[in-house]
Structure 1
Amino acid sequence: MSRTYGNFIDGEWTDSQSGETFEVTNPAAAGEVVSVPPASSEADVEAALDAAVAAQDEWASTPGPSRGAVLREAGNNLEARKEEATEVLVREEGKTRSEAGGEVQRAIDIFHYYGAKARDFGGTVKSASAPGKDLYTKHEPLGTVALITPWNYPIAIPVWKLAPALAAGNTAVLKPASEAPGVVSIVLECLDDAGLPAGVANTITGSGSEVGGPLIESERIDGVSFTGSTAVGTMVAETAAVDLKRVQCEMGGKNPTVVMPSADIEAAAETVGVGAFGTTGQSCTATSRAIVHEDVYDEFVAAVSDYAESLVVGDGLDDPDMGPHVSENELSSTLEYIDIGSSEGATLEAGGSRLSGDDYDDGYFVEPTVFSGVENDARIAQEEIFGPVLAVVKTDSFEDALDLANDVDYGLSASIVTQDLSEGKRFVNEVEAGVAKINEKTTGLELHVPFGGYKDSSTNTYREQGDAGLDFFSSVKTIYENY
């Protein structure tokens, strides 16, 4: 059964002004329509901006503890609807039920975290250089912000942008990805039921050209937070820079895990495998390269190939090990990269094919895929694939492994598996990545610490999550008082 819903503008659910809609289908069963959201246009963007700008002053003047109470209650409301949100996420995006449930729980936790942070979000008092004076800072909201979010984490990323924006006193217009917008409607219902004033948070669905472009270009937007591809993020940053909007873009990754001879190889294969094939490889922090010392290379290739072949692929509602790609385009892109890997001379060790037959024919399923014998300058070792494809690269030393890890345009997440503490410490200090880990998969993030990348993975302006999330959505005013 499909779900029809509207844009959320000024506290009301409304159709697009054109009356047009589009269909979101189940990636495990492409003929099944999951939801029918509005196909919005610039007129809807303007309506959302009217509402957000009108609500600015009142929300900014609302005490932080009161703003936090709304966020906390929204988290409680979402917790009560966790199963519903999980199922919508699975049916729209394709994640397994376990993965989707974990993502919804993360959104709940983020609401609770920023609900608490809003209570003590203030400034600092400094010592003035003369008597009879006070010197202190205060945080002020930017105003109205645009939030543009991707389909691969369709509830966690919208919430980790929206919650700090609201905690800091901003109003917001959120544009979710068209592939999986349904859970965002649940988030807005939870905020509305929590007592969020009309106009403070608004959401509009539609294409990037019809909605995203006008939103970013609007002179009424004071800040833009974007997550998506490097190509699109670069255009977003360039557009926002025209009138000096504050901008934050988190983009692609080509994340390595280095495996050294001291590692437990079975454990290392599982660490890499979970990072490579979890969420169907559709994560910006997914493990895309394993850089493995020659002393354990063959053993590792065998172990990670066995891991890939052991995974059960299927409809996310059945909670298999791996679900489908989100769309036919994403599946086609992954299959194209598999062909490229073979044509470049790499050895296909596991997977490599679209799954067919039985329940697979109507969905976008592909086998978890492992290539060995990959040169680090190969396209499958340099370009973001965004699918369950692992390139295994051989190295002969720690120094060479570190060089190979850094020899890529991206710098989002990286890890090393080793029992040598000096190797681990040196790796996290010298790897060119915004997230560096020892004996952990490249995926998985704590919500209370900063997240962001280096090089082409980020605009390198502001980080997300934790206190850094509040920093982006606020300006610091320094106040001098001579009494």
Structure 2
Amino acid sequence: MKFNNFVNGEWVPAATGTTTESYNPAATDEVVGEIPESTEADADAAISAAAGAEADWADTPGTARGALLRESAELLAQRKDELTGTLVREEGKAWSEAAGEVQRAIDIFYYYASKAADLGGEVMASSNQDTTLSTRLEPVGVVAAITPWNYPIAIPAWKVAPALAAGNTVVLKPATQTGVIANEFVRCLSDAGFPDGVVNLVTGPGSTVGNALATDDRVDAISFTGSETVGDIVYQNAASDQKRVQLEMGGKNPTLVTDSADVEEAVDIVANGAFGVTGQACTACSRAIVHEEIYEEFVETLVDRVESLEIGPGSNDPDVAPHVSEDELEGTLEYVQIGQNEGATLETGGQRLTGGVYDDGYYISPAVFSDVEPEMRIAQEEIFGPVLSVIPVSDFEEGIDVVNGVEQGLSASVVTDDLRQAHRFVDEADAGIVKTNEKTTGLEYHVPFGGMKASSSETFREQGDAGLDFYTISKTVYLNY
């Protein structure tokens, strides 16, 4: 199928008519759809539509906005199987993982539908007897949401839903690799009946469409999820007219396994966090930092576990599905070679798979490295694939040093039966998300999400009540009667 942009309530092709094809990563000869390869002109049209609809949507009562969000959630739920199938075919995700992601988008829209009616302000006492003092929350204006390919319906949902609930208009620019599922997502919102111009979709390269959104002075706020390199560019471009900016970027997420941990439990937690969603998650575990007393047992048990994982097309619901693209697969294979060149021991995996269904897609066997030093590139740089570095440490203090010894600080976990160590980890780990005896992946939608250090702009959190802060401005009202 050929898909279009959605601008001012209409499905329209790119101004140039140019399209790009989206392929199934499990069957690379299958075209999932053709999506517009938009330019600055298309971004300009979408921004104009959003700016034109901004005032009326801001004046729409919160209960009415919430009703449209609720209708969107219901349409997403009605089309859940269809959306799951599209997500599997376009991004490659295993069926159960894709279904969970679609359900998350549904839940997010229901959540913010209820929040829309509660957005108001506070009344406070004044020092003047004849004055009432209050605050009110108002929308920021036009919001640009720039989203990645790895969670191509959940991440747009957790940006778009709170923005709309707060009374903002939105221009969504999804990743090119997953333009079809983004199109189907916006179709649900369109069918729900949002007024023209309130929700807009423009697909195309970040270098053109993304740059146009970041530099246009009619855009009041940008919410970006993606790589640190691109995020820095977005931030710099947005700074010229002091846009409000929210950046969530990469991670080099650790799981610290202490000497008190149960090895089997630790292996389950680490393997699920490292190899679920093919390691293509910003919160995926890429470093297992293990106490030396249980290190050899941990590595041996982990290798056995990894070698039992089923690898295959997402439609078969395997443990590990294909990479999203040839470029992503090549990048992972390059890091496997880097690890070997650095002197780490490749215990298992790290090979491009061939034969049978593997010839049709972008498959790699999950890789486990042992004898990894903390300063090695495979222990410092985000790989975004199923590659795990296992690092030995002599005690808890050294473990914390290694946990914090990277530029990023998104998600971190500890596996321990020692309550004191658990509390110390929460206090001392430099990460926006800290977990005890849980995998680094997996997030609740009603609590804040965001990183520290280079993983985030450290300005505003996403999701939950905190997710509304970015999309609202507080106005203080003095009423002297």
TM-score scaled by length of structure 1: 0.99
Gaps of 5+ in 1: none
Provide the C-alpha distance between the structure 2 equivalents of 1:384 and 1:409, rounded to a whole number of angstroms: 10
- Say whether residues 1:457 and 2:459 are aligned partners: no
**Counterpart for residue 272 of structure 2:** 274
**Counterpart for residue 429 of structure 1:** 427
**Counterpart for residue 308 of structure 2:** 310
1:305 offset after TM fit, Å? 1.0
Q: Read off the aligned partner of 1:289 and give its amino acid letter.
A: R
Provide the C-alpha distance between the structure 2 equivalents of 1:348 and 1:283, rounded to a whole number of angstroms: 22
The secondary structure found in structure 2 opposite 1:257 is strand
**Counterpart for residue 186 of structure 1:** 184
- Say whether residues 1:350 and 2:366 are aligned partners: no
- Say whether residues 1:35 and 2:33 are aligned partners: yes
- Say whether residues 1:414 and 2:412 are aligned partners: yes
Task: Please show how residues 321-332 of structure 1 align to structure 2 within 5 Å.
Answer: 321-332=319-330
Structure 1 runs (4+) greater than 4 angstroms displaced = none
**Counterpart for residue 7 of structure 2:** 9
- Say whether residues 1:18 and 2:27 are aligned partners: no
Q: Read off the aligned partner of 1:178 and give its amino acid letter.
A: T
**Counterpart for residue 79 of structure 1:** 77
**Counterpart for residue 122 of structure 2:** 124
The secondary structure found in structure 2 opposite 1:120 is coil
1:176 offset after TM fit, Å? 0.3
Encode CA deviations 1:160-192: one digit per residue, 9 max, x unaligned: 000000000000100000001212212211112
TM-score scaled by length of structure 2: 0.99
The secondary structure found in structure 2 opposite 1:17 is coil
Q: Read off the aligned partner of 1:385 and give its amino acid letter.
A: I
Provide the C-alpha distance between the structure 2 equivalents of 1:52 and 1:170, rounded to a whole number of angstroms: 9
Task: Please show how residues 186-265 of structure 1 align to structure 2 within 5 Å.
Answer: 186-265=184-263
- State the percentage of identical aligned residues: 59
**Counterpart for residue 57 of structure 2:** 59
- Say whether residues 1:390 and 2:364 are aligned partners: no
Q: Read off the aligned partner of 1:37 and give its amino acid letter.
A: I
The secondary structure found in structure 2 opposite 1:267 is helix
1:330 offset after TM fit, Å? 0.4
**Counterpart for residue 158 of structure 2:** 160
The secondary structure found in structure 2 opposite 1:25 is strand
Q: Read off the aligned partner of 1:59 and give its amino acid letter.
A: W
Encode CA deviations 1:204-250: one digit per residue, 9 max, x unaligned: 00111121111111010000000000011011111111110000000
1:113 offset after TM fit, Å? 0.3
Provide the C-alpha distance between the structure 2 equivalents of 1:463 and 1:408, rounded to a whole number of angstroms: 21
1:445 offset after TM fit, Å? 0.6
Provide the C-alpha distance between the structure 2 equivalents of 1:316 and 1:80, rounded to a whole number of angstroms: 22
Q: Read off the aligned partner of 1:291 and give its amino acid letter.
A: I
- Say whether residues 1:365 and 2:363 are aligned partners: yes
Encode CA deviations 1:244-279: one digit per residue, 9 max, x unaligned: 000000001000000011111111101000100001
Encode CA deviations 1:96-121: one digit per residue, 9 max, x unaligned: 00000000000000000000011101
1:141 offset after TM fit, Å? 0.4
- Say whether residues 1:104 and 2:133 are aligned partners: no
Aligned residues: 481
1:371 offset after TM fit, Å? 0.3
**Counterpart for residue 135 of structure 2:** 137
Provide the C-alpha distance between the structure 2 equivalents of 1:391 and 1:22, rounded to a whole number of angstroms: 36
